[in-house]
Structure 1
Amino acid sequence: MQGLHLTADLYLCDCDLSLLTQAGPLADMCRGHTLDAGLTLVAEKWHTFPDFQGEPGGVTGMLLLAESHLALHTWPERQGVTLDVYVCNFMGDNSAKAEKLMQTLVNAFKPAKMQRERLLRGDEHGPGTNGELVFETLTPTASFGFRFAERTLSLQTNYQHLELLRSDDLGHTLRLDQRFMTSEADEFFYHEALVHPAAMAHPDPSKVLIIGGGDGGALEEVLKYPSVTEATLVELDGQVVEIAREHLQSINRGAFDDPRVTAHIADGVQFLAQTQQRFDLVLLDLTDPDTPAGPLYTEAFFKECKRVLAPGGAVVLHLGTPFHNPEQVKQLAGELSAVFDQVHGYGVHIPLYGTYWALAIASNELNPLAPGRDQIQQRLTQRGIGDLQYYNADIHGALFALPNFYRALMPQA
C-alpha cells in the first residue's frame, strides 16, 4: 500500500497544440514515456471534449498501471495541464520510475510556470498521520512544507485565495495564494524585525503608516511605543482583517481596537496619492511582488512613500529571499536607492518562510546603524518596550551584518 504520489499543475505550456487538444497524440506520448520509465501498462482510457464557444476542447485520460496510474487533463484555452502520477511500492520501490515519468512529461509540455507536490502515502505509522502536508515553492527546484492537522478556512476573497491552517507546532497559520504569511508560533521573527530596527533608530516615532499588514502583527508591535500617537493601517483585502480579528488574536492582541489606530480598507497606491499626512515611519507589510501588491514594489510608489515621510522618516519593507531570488532583491534595492540617499539592507531567518529573508530601511536621513548597542538598550528601557521574543540591543546591529552574497546585491555606497 505504501507509495509515492506526484502531482503537477502546468501553466502556459509551449508544446505542440495537438498534445492539448487531441487524444491520439497525447496518448501516444504518455504511453511512450510511461514504458520508457519502466512502468507496466495494463489499460487506458482517453476522451477528447468537443469545441466550446469557438475554442478547442481539452483531453482527459488515464493509464492504468500495474504499479497504479497516470491521470491527466488539459485546458487548451489556458495552455494548462494537470498531471497525477501514483505508484505503489509493494513488490519494489517504484519511486524513481514515477519521478522519471513526471519529469519527462513536464519536459514534453514545456510549461512557463508550474506547481508540483510530492506526497508519501500508505504508511499508517508514517508522517501522514500527523495531518495534511502543505508545500510552498521557493523556486522551480526548491520547496518546503509543514503538516497541518486542521484546515480551518479555505475561501476566495475579492483579491486572493485565503487559507487558515492549524498545527500543534505553528498554531493558526495564514496562507494567501499558496504562500505562507504568518503563524501564531513564529510571527515574532518577521514582525519584530520589520518594526523595531527602524522604530528604535528613530528618536521619537509618533505617526506610523502600515500598508498591508492585515493580520495586525506589525500594528501590535508599533503600538508598544508610547510615543506613537497615530497608527494608520491601509489593507486592500478587508477579509484578511476580519479573519485576523476572529482567529489571529494571539498575533494582533486586539490592536485594531486601540484608539490610536485608524484602519482603511483601501488600495495603498490610491491612499498615498490622496493623503496629505506625514509619517515618521512607513512600513510596507506586503505580499510578494507577483501578487496584487505588485504596484507597491515600484520606483514610482517608493517616490510616493518618500513624499509622505516627515523629516527624519524612513520606509521599511521586505525584499524577498536573497539566496533563492537574488535578482528580485537586487532590483528592489536598486529602485530604492534611486529614490533614497540611504538603503540599509538587513536579514533574518524566518521559519515559516523556510529561508533567510531580506528587508531594507530606506531614508534620506535616518541611519539605523547610528545608535550603538548601548543607546539601543537605553531606548528600549526608556520607552518601556518589552515582551519581545527576537529583537534586542545585541540583535539590532547583528541584523545589518550581511553575508557577502547578500551584500553583493545591495547598491554600493
Structure 2
Amino acid sequence: MTDWVRESLHPDYAQALRVGEMLYDSETAHQRLKVFQNDTFGRVLTLDDVVQTTEGDNFIYHEMMSHVPIFAHGAASRVLIIGGGDGGMAREVLRHQSVSHVTMVEIDAGVVEFSKTYLPMLSNGAFDDPRLDLVIADGADFIRSTSGGYDVIIVDSTDPIGPGEVLFSDTFYGHAKRALAPNGILVTQNGVPFMQGEELTNTMRAFTALFVDATCYLATIPTYAGGPMAFGWGTDGDARATPLDVLQGRFDAAGIATDYYTPEVHQGAFALPGYVKKLLP
C-alpha cells in the first residue's frame, strides 16, 4: 500500500486514502503537512497523516460549523475562528454580509501559506477579504488575552493531540465564554462520538458548567470516518430554539447557496441518537 496514506488517529480502526499524486510533503515547526490528489475527494490535506479536510467534502464541515451558529444567532457581526488555517471556515463565515469583522487565529503560518498555494479552492479568496484579521498565534494564548465581544466563536481545531490539545481544556472554554458577547454562541469540533466518545463527554461536562444551553449537534462527513461528527454548542441565550420559519427567513435573506446546510438540517442536527445522548453529562 505504498500509494496509500493510512490514517492512524484511532488505536484499533483506520481508514486509508489512495494517493494519485503527492503534491506537497513537508515538516513545519509543529507538524507534518501533506497534500495529495485523490480521485474521489480531490485534494486532501493531512497533518501527521490524519485527514483534516478535502476538496470534495469540506463543504459539509464548514457549512455546519459556521451557518448553524450564525443563522441561529440572527445578528452576528463579530466572529472569532480559532484554527482553520486552510481558510474554509473563513470562506463560509464571510459569505454572511451581516458579519462585519472576522478574527482568525492560527498557530501555524505554514498551514496558511501552503493552503493558499495548494488548496486555494478552500479559502476561495477569504484571505483577501478586508473583513478578515488573520492572527498567527496560539489560540489558547489569544483567547486568554482578547478583549472579546464576539457574537460567535468557532473552534476549528485539530484533534486533541499535540498543538490542538490545549483547545479542549476547561480553562480554554472558560476563557472562550468570557470572550463572548451577551447571548453569544461557542461551537467546537468534537470528533466522531462513536470513536471518540470521551472527547465529547469532557467538552460537554465543561460546557454544562459554563452555559445555560449546552449540547451538541451532528453532521456526517465521509472522510471523518466512524460515524457522524459532533459539534459542541454552548450559549446563555435561546438561539437553539429559533423557529424553523425564522431560520428560513434568515437563510433566504442571506442569499447563500449551500450544498449541505438547510434550515431543516439545522434543526434536525440537534436531534441526537441514544448512544450520543448517553455521552452527555
In structure 2, what is the equivalent of residue 398 of structure 1?
268
Give the structure 2 partner of residue 261 of structure 1. 132
One of 142, 164, 169 as aligned partner of 1:293:
164
In 2, distance between residues paired with 1:170 and 1:148? 11
2:236 to 361, 364, 367: 364
Deviation of 1:255 (Å): 0.1
Measured after TM superposition, the shift of residue 168 of structure 1 is: 2.1
Deviation at 1:266, TM superposition (A): 0.7
Structure 1 counterpart SS, 2:71: helix
RMSD (Å) for aligned C-alpha atoms: 1.3
TM-score of the superposed pair, with normalisation by structure 1: 0.66
Larger radius of gyration: 1
Q: Kindly state the Cα deviation for residue 343 of structure 1 after the two structures are TM-superposed.
A: 1.1
Match 1:160 to one of 31, 35, 38? 31
User: Contact 2:203–2:232 (CA<8 Å) still a contact in 1?
Assistant: no
8 Å CA contact 2:7, 2:51 repeated in 1: yes
Match for 1:275 among 133, 137, 146?
146
**What secondary structure sits across from 1:137 in the alignment?**
coil
1:22 corresponding residue in structure 2? none
Q: SS of the residue aligned with 2:7?
A: strand
Relative CO higher for 1 or 2, CA cutoff 8 Å, sep ≥ 6? 2
Contact in 2 for aligned 1:138/1:324 (Cα 8 Å)? no
* Residues 305-362 of structure 1: CA deviation (Å, up to 9, x unaligned): 0111011101111111111121221112112212222112111111111132111111
Moved more, 340-349 or 201-210: 340-349
C-alpha distance in 1 between matches for 2:142 and 2:217: 28
Question: What's the counterpart of residue 376 of structure 1?
Answer: 247
Q: Which amino acid aligns with 1:143?
A: A
Q: Which amino acid aligns with 1:395?
A: V
| Aligned match of 1:25 | none
Alpha-carbon contact 2:153-2:176 (below 8 Å) kept: yes
More off after superposition, 137-146 vs 238-247: 137-146
Instruction: Say if 2:37 is the partner of 1:201.
Output: no
How has the CA–CA distance of structure 1 residues 377 and 163 changed in structure 2, closer, same or farther, with 3 Å as cutoff? same
Among candidates 110, 130, 142, match of residue 239 of structure 1: 110
Contact 1:215 1:240 in 2 (8 A): yes
| TM-score, normalised by the number of residues in structure 2 | 0.96
The runs of at least 4 consecutive aligned structure 1 residues that moved more than 6 Å come to none
CA contact (8 A) 2:72 2:239 kept: yes
Cα distance in 1 for partners of 2:64, 2:8 equals 23
Residue identity opposite 1:236 in structure 2? I
Match of 1:343 among 205, 214, 229: 214
Following the alignment from structure 1 to structure 2, what is the Cα–Cα distance between the partners of residues 174 and 158?
Answer: 17
What CA distance in whole angstroms lies between the structure 2 residues aligned with 1:265 and 1:139? 29
